[in-house]
Structure 1
């Protein structure tokens, strides 16, 4: 079996991390695993295993015939059977299928906010879905939406999974005091809701208690990041709150923290929470999307409604104050992740789906 993962960039986002995880995991399980990036490379390039073939398409515009031709040439040379397109990369996959009908397409939806969107906003996706052989979704809300709105019957729910990179190079050293670092791994953009976490940190006077807050994720140098920086400056917390940008050594960073927070207004199935758990962090999480399934309140962490900023303060305060509770929650979360969200279970289900598509030819 020969499969190619397709993604628009290798910036350190959730969908991007999963595309790399899938390519790496398949590398040791099937005959040929590849990953192609359409528009932009990034730090996740370094996490790709040596046994995974890599292709950068350098796509410049929506209808980029040069990028499509480059992809077609690679597909034919390597005899790829299925393109597994993540997120918005589905459009390029469909353009390829129009000139190379033999290729099969699996589309993977990671976008947690889609279930609340109108079909009008997704009219291009609906039109393209007639060319999909299967759809993979990361939560049941997205499955219901896909069943109601897309022109494809083969829809599969698969949870995300996280894998520690044993060869990860340790580059980033977090500032602040050991044992008192709060980390937030998410790109600096809506709907990640960083401002709510900033306000909670400030209102709880955590700077005065020796705690520090660390934002890791791509910065877009827009109004959103400017608002965060202005808050940090205006409230004199520059010595306690730090913005690092994208970084390839995610697990090295997380292992320097004590608490992991995710405050998003919507999510699909955030791989970030799995990475927090595998790094032995105690977690305070938004309850949207699949988050409250991973983080069960009082059992594997603490959850809050992201529109209720006071509740975030309460939950963060409890986690900060009680070291024994932090240790208990971190251990319970790690055990839960290893049991429910294993690479082996997900890969077995995915390969079975691939095989059905290939056999249907």
Structure 2
């Protein structure tokens, strides 16, 4: 099949043949929703079925029933749909998406299963047989990094796996002078797995050296109350500032005002927050989990440490805190290294994938 391409969006005739399934990107928070939002800007039309929303169990059940009805309507009434592209993760997400994978094959559609969840390795090894049976139904499995591809091939025996980079929106970057104090930024789910408590302890233990030199700004959802209650006894409420959940202009403002982005996670796939921060010329401090070491090169555009290594965390912070020239040099490297994640580059990868699937008989 030959379809004329254009530089702005996926060609209309090609986009018309794709159906996407995933979290409600218009209302939900997090990395998967961010990816879907970018997809919605490069596909026209953007056929989408929301399978879950942020909310309580009753709301999620209601949305799943709605998604099932919507999906069946499309399968029966829209024969132009040839490919079903499913965004998924582990646990409840996997069990939901498994149903739609099997239904898609029942209707003889090509299935693209796009794996996002950082905890999928543990989940897949625990439920290996069911996961393997499900993956065999998929025509293509998309993963976010080469290390994930190796896991799917070597541990799960999945041969039809490819890497497609997560897209980020074009940055609205504003260069210029910043505050005298180094602004350390964290964006994401506030929980132990993201390393937020390790970070707060390091700041507290070194408050004397950091006071006046460092400002820690963090934003996100999750265990907000617990994190704020942790800050008070650590006596760092004059250094650490919670910004709430931010998006749009508020997030852009935070990224432009920051000097360093930090995410000391224990589990990850390929965090959108790191990619976005790199596009805003920020050096990165993070851990050697998931696909992070493939985008953060130790000593080049940031520093990589072991999860839970608070000594290493302090050393990485100190390297950047007291060296503005190094921060700027690493920030330039970040912006250069993240270019392949901008929409035009990812669009080309998706076009090639879909055209290959449509041409395969």
Normalised TM-score (structure 2): 0.80
3-state SS of 2:47 partner: strand
User: 1:95: which partner in 2?
Assistant: 99
How much has 1:118 moved relative to structure 2? 5.3
Report the Cα offset of residue 9 of structure 1: 4.2
Aligned to 1:68: 68
* Residue of structure 2 equivalent to 1:187: 189
Contact 1:129/1:151 (<8 A) preserved:
no
Which 10-residue stretch deviates more, 13-22 or 129-138?
Answer: 13-22
Superimposed CA distance per residue, residues 220-268 of structure 1 (whole angstroms, 9 cap, x where no aligned partner): x4xxx44422220102222322233432223232112111101101222
Q: Count residues in correspondence.
A: 328
Using structure 1 for the length normalisation, give the TM-score.
0.80
RMSD: 2.9
Distance 1:147 1:193 in 2: 29
For residues 145-201 of structure 1, what are the alpha-carbon distances to aligned partners after superposition, in whole Å with 9 as ceiling and x for unaligned? 3224557532111222322266x9xxxxxxx96753211011123421111111122
Per-residue CA deviation, residues 47-89 of structure 1 (Å, 9 max, x unaligned), is xxxxxxxxxxx64169x54431122224555533222111245
Match of 1:36 among 36, 42, 49: 49
Question: 1:277 corresponds to which residue?
Answer: 278
Structure 1 pair 177–156 and aligned structure 2 pair: CA distance change class (3 A): same
**Matches of 1:245 and 1:18, distance apart in 2:** 21
Q: Which residue of 1 aligns with 2:147?
A: 141
How far did residue 93 of structure 1 move?
4.7
Once residues 199 and 116 of structure 1 are traced to their aligned partners in structure 2, the CA distance between those partners, rounded to angstroms, is 28
Structure 2 residue matching 1:288: 3-state secondary structure = coil
SS in 2 for 1:6: strand
Query: Equivalents in 2 of 1:303, 1:65: separation in Å?
Result: 43
User: Aligned partners of 2:290 and 2:357: how far apart in 1?
Assistant: 29
SS in 2 for 1:296: coil
CA shift digits 1:112-169 (9 cap, x unpaired): 3433555333554333223312100112232223224557532111222322266x9x
Matched, 1:120 2:126: yes
Candidates 157, 165, 168, aligned match of 1:162: 168
Tell me if 1:6 matches 2:8.
Answer: no
Task: For 1:123 and 1:245, locate their aligned partners in 2 and report how far apart those are by CA, in whole Å.
Answer: 41
Q: 1:25 to 1:203 in 2, by over 3 A?
A: farther
- Residues in 2 aligned to 1:113 and 1:93: alpha-carbon distance in whole angstroms: 16
Q: Where do residues 1-361 of structure 1 align in structure 2 (5 Å cutoff)?
A: 1=14, 2-10=17-25, 11-27=28-44, 32-40=45-53, 59-60=60-61, 64-78=64-78, 79-88=80-89, 89=93, 91-96=95-100, 97-98=102-103, 101-117=107-123, 119-148=125-154, 150=156, 153-164=159-170, 180-205=182-207, 208-219=211-222, 221=223, 225-249=224-248, 250-338=251-339, 340-361=340-361
Q: 1:330 to 1:36 in 2, by over 3 A?
A: same
Residues 268 and 124 of structure 1: CA distance in aligned 2, closer, same or farther (over 3 Å): same
- Structure 2: where are the runs of 5+ without partners? 1-13
Report the more deviating stretch, 4-13 or 251-260: 4-13
For 2:5, the equivalent position in structure 1 comes to none
- Contact kept in structure 2, 1:126 and 1:149, CA below 8 Å: no
Shift of 1:3: 1.7
Separation in structure 1 between the aligned mates of residue 212 and residue 181 of structure 2, nearest angstrom: 12
> Please, which runs of 5 or more residues in structure 1 have no aligned partner?
43-57, 169-175
1:33–1:198 Cα change, 3 Å: same
Bigger mean CA deviation after superposition, 286-295 or 142-151: 142-151
Q: Is the 8 A contact 1:4 1:23 kept in 2?
A: no
SS of 2:186's equivalent in the other structure is: strand
Shift of 1:320: 0.9
- In 2 relative to 1, CA 115–60 (structure 1 residues): closer, same or farther, beyond 3 Å? closer
- Give SS of 1:276's match: helix
- How much has 1:357 moved relative to structure 2? 1.8
